[in-house]
Each structure stands twice: as structure tokens, then as C-alpha cells.
A and B are shown apart, each in its own frame.
Chain A
């Protein structure tokens, strides 16, 4: 499972390369041969090799040299700092525990010091290189020096996730040797043809197994990501109850007699222009009572209400009461509260207050308008008459508990005092006092 670093072809290629390192082919030859395949994924190959190189027991000395050469050659067309394995190479070159010929070989690869004879050493085979290696001929520079020369110009590391960049190699050595034995000792290596014994291991098998299974990703700290719990099923299940039957309805209004209430409409139209005769009035009220919907079809609109109020207050009262649940009732009230103060409008309001629940604000505004009308009227006779009416009206409202005196106390008291010369005003004033 997981992502394999190398495909089968690449695996074979690497295995062959490593095997041939012990032959007498020159390193250069091997490298050329190796890079003939254009499909080779250089990074993957190099990364695998670097992992194998890290495991000191896995590769032979010649194999190691060839592997290092590949690491270098893969990116030799670019500047050394662009080689992703440059720090690996530098570190290997400075590894005190490594063989000197290996370190020297890497320095050669990097072209350290003697850039002239750069490619000459590759003309020999790996084993020749080791054989001919003269430890005295090589000086090993300090790590800092190498780093300065090869790494400094390196680009800042591109964005990488910390979780991943902290990965540690996911290959663990688990030597299967008898207790107390040194796993590094060569005695456990299987000699060709020899009988296998406990703790012995075939290097080639381990090598090919590793190459086959290496993955790009190392071992990283693991995060526990709990799966959120399933949402509880509480009221979610659908309980079914029998339906109410809703049938499609036939429209009974089709071709219906549209003369319904025509008489009432005519009478209402007449009622807007002047008082109706008592028998006509009676007829309207009876018809309206017979058909509760007729009121919506009698031709009255809010705009026409004042005319009806002035001419036929009783019909107006009846119509308004029937319209009380109409969506337009607020509009009717608005018209009513804003029309000129008169005996008839007051009568209508008074009757309405006893019959239906009127909006509080409506009543209050109406009273305020009453009082200001009394104050503004010029004709003394008319004023007296209106004041008396308003007083009686207010007394009725108070006695019937339609209004809360407290809401209008000051206003009404001032009104009483202003018109105290009028008998009804004095009476209203006394009524107010008793309620205090």
C-alpha cells in the first residue's frame, strides 16, 4: 500500500547498477548507461539511494561510490546549490566515521580544490579508485568551509509542511541475530554456497526488498483526528397521521347573479348624499344583517366614509362594526379620526366604543381632536353646543370605562376649567374629581 517511490523499471535499473559496480567498468561508463533512460525520475532514484546510503550496512563500498556519483550526476547540469542532495553529500564528505576514500571521492565529485582534473577520476572503476586511493594525498576541509562553498547560495527552502518536513526515516534496523552477537559483524553474512545458519541474512534479498518498498514519506508524528459523532436522532423520525381531506372546490361564483345586494348598493350610494328615510335605513340594516359579506360589496370605501357619517351615522356605525375584521378597518379609523368634529361623528364613535374594541390610540386621538375643535370654534353658540356634546361624550366614555382617565387627565381637566361656565363641563370636572 502507500505510495511506492520507485516503479519496477527503476528498481531493476538501480539493482543492476549496484550489482555492476563491482565489475571493471569505469564509473563514467556506468553513469552514462544509467542515465540513458529519459523517463527516469531523478529525485525518486536519488532519494532511494540516499536512504540506502544512510544505512551503512546495506551497500558495499563500491556500490556506495557509484551511488554517490549518481546523486551528484543527476543534478550536475545545475548549480551545486540546486542539488536537493547537496547537503547530504556535504555531510557525507565530512563524516568522520566514513572511509577516507569515500570522503575523498565525494570531494572529487564536488570538484573541491582541484577543478582541473575534474572528470579524470571517473574514468576508472570504483574498485580501482579504492585500490589506488592514497590517504596522504587528500586533505579534508572543515564542514563549515564546504557548507560555505556549496550551500550558501542555496535557495531558501520552499514551503513545506512542518509535520512532513520533520519526518524521520521510516526504515528501522531489526537485526535478527542471536542475543549477545554483534549485528555488524560480517560473520553472519551468507557465503555463497554455504549453509544458512541462525542470524544469517542475504544482503541482496534485503536490498531488493528495500528498494521495492521504499516510500517517499518518512515517519512523522501522528495526529489523532476523531470522527465527529453522528447527530442524535431525536424528533427527527417522521410520524405519520391521517390527512385531512382537502377537495378541489367548484367555484360557485360562476355566472352567479351579480345583482346580489344591488338594492343596498343603491341605498348606500344615496345615503352618501343625504339622510335616508327611516324605512330605507331599516332596509339597509336588515339586508346587511342577512348577508355578513354584503358589507364588503356595498360600495363603501374609506374615502366615502365621512359622507356616510354625516348623512346617516347609524348606517355608518353598523357598517364599521361589520368591517371590524376587515384588513381595511385601520384605514377607516384613520379617516374617521381626521374628519371634522360633528355631532354625528361623535355619535358614531360613541356607539362604536360600546360595541367593539377600538384601538386605544384611536380613541385618545379622537378625544384630543374633540377638545381642540372646541377651542378653535369661533361661533359662541356652536361652541357651547359642541362643548356640551364633548362633555357628555367624555362622561359616557369614562363611565363605560372605554378610556383610562389617567391617560388624558391633564388635558381633560384643562378643558373643563376653560369651559367651566358650561354646566356639563362642571359636571365632567366633578366626575374627574371623584375618580381621583
Chain B
């Protein structure tokens, strides 16, 4: 190939770009040193002064501008992160432009090379060696913008803008190799935090894996399940065999020199490629502890409780004698996740540093979570509000630290508050919380579902203008008119029961007096649509490949090689070093390593990631069911039977739909069909629950409800305590999970079948069904009304009157006072 023809003149002349003669260079570097010293000793004003001098000497140097921005930010008390972001983005853009310009200069002929490569690929000789995107990266230090990118990401992270931080960091991470160790380490650590905050398990695992390789953390530990050690062990015999090879002699006769040297450097820096940790700010053990804690967080995220338990123990061992509050919190979270609430409380108590506002806000919040799970909503409310007041005292603290922004978790706590208010049946307060928290949670479908639930609850409780008070909704109101033989009963609870359309403003987000959107059914609908949209988006992106970064591709490629090697080994005798190489880096995560499983470690990590992804998929499915059911309900309430119809259809088409939602789907679908004058189809939908001519099966069983309540599995050691707590919780749990019992659901089906039959004119059948319905749900005013209707249609007005008089939900109103009030 003609690659050799490239012009030798294109050698980069890095010094030439600087364009400084030696004198200026020494002055600037001296100033730079001064500035750095001032910065380190936190004398930011002086630092800015020096930097300004520097700036006058090297005008518009991106790095100088960068450091000025950072120093000024600290000098001004971290008050304006948005402004800093703006400056840093400009710096970054400028650096990239400069790098591109110099890159073009250097790599003027790179296109030719590319063409040749792709041409030969076409001929079929080279098959699967993809030429990576040939961005002709010149790793010029001067134009390196990785520090700026890191700082941009740091600020986004502190502002809880994880998606933005992630997009910046992922870009840098794809090209992390050339970046110096200190920056690279900071990038990786931040990336891990961001990924965990985004709940991205598989990318987190990738980064963790990379870090263990690249920063040689494994070397610090002594355990046999240490990756780097095992890799070295498996590699050294190979290298020894090499020297016995006849080819070696042959080559050496032809060309020799520095061969031993080459082999040695190759071995130490090839497979595990430890970065020499020049960063003095993080010691080896600290880093190891950090990574261990990340590992625990990853395991907790993926709900791998068993492994998390093991790893958190390991972390506690490493943390001995250090500040271990993070480890303790994680351990408490672990116990919380396992349902050992008392143990979790104990651990939190042990860790809490009560004097620190940030710590106590987290402490109180976590206690709130625990009490919520115990069903003690009022206690949890107390802790959540304590946590919030901790936060507000934190905000008043001076001087402001950058960390303060992230330590202000008030929005996260506010979300918890919202859940707690919802559980206590206070939809207005809950909605207020969710609306506040939406600044952080706006991308979570669940948040929008909760907001919709607030609307529905508010409507249900009659807290929304135009909606009925709960007592009015379930009651049949009858006006008694006249006396004696001309006494008439006028049944008021007609079709006007729950029509909100007229009373609601067109503008869904109409603001109330308090500046908050008013809860309404149209708002509920909007929220549900938002959630569905988000859910569909995430499904789409999940179906695409997960991490498109080069590094992961590369790893996959290499892992293929490794596994094939392993399989080769099996065919050959006298080989006992089975430890797989790089790709198994996460074997540490898989605590089962001690069993000599060889190549299965990679599968191990894959299984637990895919197990987690399964959980997420199932959860999303569940959310989707809830969303569609709510949507169908809301559309019915808003008298949009067509839209209700499509929502209910979509619900029923969901794979693996729970039986409760199937039931709701059929009921809503049938009602929508009925409203669309298709009673026959409606009847068919309800009839799937018919067994025989006129008997209805239970649409779902008690076990479906239990499953629904998804009580966390309680560890055996505290099983009794947990059960007791669950029992005790009911009196305080005001609005514990409330839904129809299976028998009531059956009664509902009877009542609705009766209504459909009545509409179709089959009054006999209607009479049969409604009788059944009243025996199952005697308190249902709807069933009573249908029964009365059927009686009237059958001409049995006497029976209708007596039914009215016997129904417990009827309120008789004297007419004269009505007359005076009417207008």
C-alpha cells in the first residue's frame, strides 16, 4: 500500500504554534506558577490579579481565560454558576477551534489514507476492523479543553442537571486516554456520580471497570479476586515461553536491540495499563474506598442486594479509621432496601453528624423514607419537614461553597414530601411539592403520573372548582315535592354527576391565586400525556445500542478475543491459569469469583445488568399500564369517549398487563363504547368475564392485589418485626392502598352489564344482573340507580320507590327550600 508516500514535512511543530520567544515564555510561566500558588492557597483576588497580567501578555489564551473564570467564581463566593458556565463554554469552543485549526495544518493529507483503507476493506481482505472515526485528533496540550469540559460538567452536576453533565462528560470520556491522570481521574469520578444519578447501570459498570484498570486500584488490594493481579499472573508464563521460541533467535539474528526493554514495558503497560497516579490529592486507599463505594451504589441501584451486602462490608473494612459516613449511609440504604428498617435506623443514627446541616438533612430525609415504608406517614412528614428546614439553613450559610448547591437536596426531599402528602390524601399540598420538584424530576414519567393522581384525588375530594364534594358524588339526591297524594319524588342524581367540562378553563396550566397551576382534569390529562411521551422516548432510546462510545466498542472487540483464547486453553494440556483478562474486570463486582468459573465472570456482570434492565422494563410497563388506565378514566370524565376508547384499547394491548388493569381496561372500554352508541360491543367486552349465561367470574384475585401492593420482601431476621409493623401501620395509614376488592370488582361488572342490557332494551337480563350487583355492592349508588331505572322501565314504580327508600345513599331533600334557592 502506498501509505509510505506521506510527506515527512507534516511533522507537527508544537513549539512553533506557541509563537513565543524564550523571554516571554519564561515570564508567562512564572506568572502562571504564581497564579496557581495563589489559587491553591485560596487567595482568589490576588490570583485574579496575576491572571489578568497574564492575560495582557497572552491575549485570548483559552487556558488563561479559563482560570480567570474559575478564580473569579471563587472570589465572588460561587454566586453565579450560570455565568461561569457561559464563560467556560466559550473557552471550550475557542480551544476546539484552535485545535481544529492546528489539526488541519498537521493532518493535511489524512484523507488519502482513509480512502485507501476503505478501498482495501471493500476488496474483502480486511473484514471486521472498523476504522474508527478519523477525527485526526492531535493531542496538543495547549488546546486541550478537557479541564474546561470537566468544570462545565461539575457545575451542571451541582445544579442537578445530570443529562447535561453527562453529555459533556461522555464526549470527553470517549477520548480519555490522552488526558493527564489527574484530570482523567476527576472526569471518571464525576462521570460515575452522574451516571449513577441518571441510574445508568451498564455505563456505570463500564466506567468502574475502566477505572479499576486504568488507575491500578487493584494493585492496592491484596485479595485474590483482584483483577490486575490475576491478569499479571496469567500473562507472565506466556512471556516466558516467548524467549524459548526459535523465531526469536531468527529475528534476533536479523535485527535486534532493546528487545528486552520493549517486552518489559509492554507487559506492565499493556493489558491493565495502570495510570501512574501522580495525583496527590487522592491517595491509593482513598481511591480504592471511593471505587468500592461506587461499586456498592451500583449494586444498590441494580438491586443486587446480596452482592451489595458483601461489598459494603468490604468498603467498611477499607474505611476503617476514616470518615465513613458515606459507607454507613450506603449500608443503611442497603438495610432499607432489604426491609430491615430498624437496622437501617440504627445505622443512620450511628453515622449522623448532627452539627452539619447538610448531613442532618440527608439523615432526616432518610428517616422519613423509612417511616413512610413503615406506613407511618405522619412521622415521615415530620422528618421530611425537618430535612427541608435543614436545607434552608444550609442555604443561608456563608460563604457559599460550590458543594452547597448540590447539598441543597431540597427538591429531592420535596418530592418525597409530595409522595407523603399524596399518601395522606392531601392532593393540593402534594401537587405543590411535585410542581416544585419537577425542576429536577421533569424527565421522570412517574412524577407526571403523580401529578395526575393529585388532580384526580382533588377532583374526587371535591377540592376542584366545579367538582362535587365526595359525599355528593356517591349520593342519590331526591327532592320530595308536594304532600299527600300528589307527593312526588324527583331523583336529582341524573347524568350530571361528574361533569367538569364547563367549569374548567380552557387553559390547562391556568395559574391559581398562589401562582400554582390549578388542579383539574385537563391538567391531569396533560400530565399523563407528558408521562407517556417520556416513557415512549426512553423505550425508543433503550432499543438502540446502549453505549455508543468508542471505548466500549473497543472493549467488546477485545473481549471477543479474550473469550476465544479461553476456549482455546481448554483444548490444551498443562494450563491452569484460567483467569480471563480485561473484560472480566468487573469480576470484582461479582462476588462469586472465588469459585473458579473462568469465563463466566463476564456473563455474571452481564446477567446482573440485564437483570436490572429487566426490572426497569417491568417497572416501565407497570407505569404505562397505570398511565393508560388513568388516561382512559380522565377522558371518560371529560366526556371524550373516543379518546377514552383508544387509551383503554392501548391498555389492553399491553403485554403482561396486570389483571387489575385488564379489568379497568375492559370497564373503561365498555363504557366508552356505550357512550359511542355501541352497547353490543360494550356488552361483549364485559362478557369475557361471564361464565355461562349469567354468572360473572372474579376479574382478579386477592393475590393480584397483594402483588399490587409490592411489599418489599422482608429479610427473615426481621420478618416478624416487619410484619408487625405492617399490621400496626394500618391505623395511621390514612389512605393506604385503596381499590376495589375482587368481589366489589365483580359487582361492578354486574352493575355495568345491567346498564348495558338496559340500554339494549333487554330489561329481564338487566334486572338479573343488577340484582346480583346490589347483592355484591349494596352501597353503590350507581347500581341502585340502574336498578331503579330498570324497575321504572318495567313499570314497577312501586318497587323503584321502595328501592329508593331502602338505599342508604339516598338523601331526601324537602322541596320548599329548594324552590327558594333556585335561580
Contacts and interface: CB of A to CB of B under 8 A. Distances in A.
A242 B326 contact: yes
Interface in A313-366: 313-314, 317-318, 321-331, 333-335, 337-340, 343-344, 347, 350-351, 354-362, 365
B755 A357 contact: no
A331 B131 contact: yes
A161 B675 contact: yes
B598 to A, nearest CB: 15
Nearest to A404: B568
B755 A223 contact: yes
A219 B755 contact: no
A350 B550 CA distance: 26
Given A175-B487, A206-B487, A219-B785, A257 B129 contact: no
A75 B344 CA distance: 78
B130 interface: yes
Contacts of A190: 484
B486 A201 contact: yes
B14 A356 contact: no
Contact of A237 (B259, B373, B752): B373
Interface string B8-33: 10011011011000000100110110
A248 B412 contact: no
Interface in B200-230: 214
Interface in A220-246: 220-246
Interface in B112-141: 112-113, 116-117, 120-121, 125-132, 134, 136-137, 139-141
B801 A297 contact: no
Contacts of B735: 230
A235 B416 CA distance: 11
B67 A254 contact: yes
A256 B143 CA distance: 12
Contact of A260 (B141, B150, B248, B358): B141
Nearest to A256: B141
Contacts of B561: 357-360
Contacts of A173: 487-489, 797
A245 B403 contact: yes
Interface in A287-318: 288-289, 292-293, 296-297, 299, 301-307, 310, 313-314, 317-318
Contacts of B100: none
A350 B251 CA distance: 10
Interface stretch (B270-278, B515-523, B599-607, B717-725): B270-278
A120 interface: no
Interface string B463-481: 0000000001000010111
A35 to B, nearest CB: 23
A379 interface: no
Interface stretch (A23-31, A126-134, A137-145, A277-285): A277-285
B797 A172 contact: yes
A328 B137 contact: yes
Given A206-B481, A262-B14, A285-B262, A219 B789 contact: yes
A184 B258 CA distance: 125
B751 A213 contact: no
B365 A238 contact: yes
Nearest to B186: A249
Given A327-B550, A335-B113, A163 B816 contact: no
Interface stretch (A1-9, A41-49, A93-101, A413-421): A1-9
Contact of A399 (B110, B193, B241): B241
Contacts of B636: 225
Interface in B658-692: 660, 664, 667-668, 671, 674-675, 677, 679
A361 B556 CA distance: 13
B823 A7 contact: yes
A74 interface: no
A426 interface: no
Given A177-B485, A206-B482, A254-B64, A361 B117 contact: no
B18 A1 contact: no
A377 interface: no
Given A162-B674, A230-B422, A171 B416 contact: no
Given A221-B789, A292-B275, A354-B239, A232 B257 contact: no
Given A221-B786, A224-B748, A253-B142, A240 B494 contact: no
A188 interface: yes
B456 interface: yes
Interface string A139-173: 00000000000000000000001111011111111
B369 to A, nearest CB: 4
Contacts of B407: 243
A203 B629 CA distance: 51
Contacts of B609: none
Contacts of A310: 4
B325 interface: yes
A214 interface: yes
Contact of B39 (A250, A317, A327, A361): A250
Contact of A365 (B67, B126, B365, B567): B126
B589 interface: no
Contacts of B267: 355
A241 B290 CA distance: 13
Interface string A194-210: 00000111110111111
Given A249-B151, A262-B15, A350-B247, A171 B488 contact: yes
B369 A239 contact: yes
A339 B290 CA distance: 45
B61 interface: yes
Most chain A beta-carbon contacts within 10 A, residue among B175, B325, B419, B495: B495
A404 B560 CA distance: 13
A33 to B, nearest CB: 24
Contact of B129 (A258, A285, A333, A343): A333
A205 B479 CA distance: 13
B787 to A, nearest CB: 9
Contacts of A248: 70, 73-74, 151, 154-155, 402
A246 B558 contact: no
A270 to B, nearest CB: 10
Interface in A8-53: 8, 11
A360 to B, nearest CB: 5
B263 A166 contact: no
A212 B126 contact: no
A351 B262 contact: yes
Contacts of B557: 330, 359
Contact of A175 (B128, B140, B486, B565): B486
A300 to B, nearest CB: 10
B780 A234 contact: no
B66 interface: yes
A235 B623 CA distance: 13
B242 A303 contact: no
Given A161-B677, A401-B572, A255 B63 contact: yes
A357 B556 CA distance: 12
B620 interface: no
Contacts of B677: 161-162
Nearest to A344: B255
A218 interface: yes
B77 interface: no
A14 to B, nearest CB: 13
Contact of B139 (A177, A221, A297, A304): A297
Nearest to A289: B265
Interface stretch (A64-72, A82-90, A388-396): A388-396
21 contacts: A172-B490, A173-B797, A206-B487, A212-B819, A215-B490, A217-B495, A223-B755, A226-B740, A230-B422, A232-B710, A237-B416, A240-B365, A243-B407, A249-B151, A249-B182, A265-B14, A296-B178, A357-B562, A360-B560, A395-B245, A396-B245
Given A224-B667, A247-B154, A392-B250, 7 more contacts: A1-B492, A205-B816, A240-B366, A244-B326, A246-B186, A281-B258, A323-B177
- List the 7 shortest-distance A-B pairs measured between CB atoms, nearest first: A201-B484, A206-B482, A355-B266, A209-B481, A296-B178, A222-B782, A221-B755
